[in-house]
Amino acid sequence: MDQQTLEMEAAVYRRLRDHLRARTDVQNIDLMILAGFCRNCLADWYRDAAAERGQEMDKLKAREIVYGMPFEEWKAKYQKDASPEQQAAFAKSQAEHG
């Protein structure tokens, strides 16, 4: 991969990360239902990419990078309990795509 492509892909990731940081109204379960991934998935992928490059990173540090704050702080400020409808939609999406 050439340097320009790498830089563009990194810019796209940062834009997605920043968009999700700003859209605190969008819950992770909604992302999972609609897209099959959420902020936690991005953090896991970030941590996997670090490991592939020989860098150790724990789950909470990766989540802080994605969320822009410690995960527990984000949860306390923005996370809501999933409704029964959301839980059912999530279960259905997992069954269909799992």
pLDDT tens-place string over residues 36-90: 999 999 999 999 999 999 999 999 999 999 999 999 999 999 999 999 999 999 9
CATH no. of 3-97: 1.10.3340.10
pLDDT at residue 6 is higher than 90:
yes
Distances (CA, A) of 69 to 5, 56, 57, 61, 72: 29, 19, 16, 9, 8
**Residue ranges per domain, the chain?**
3-97
Q: What pLDDT score does 97 carry?
A: 86
pTM assigned to the model: 0.91
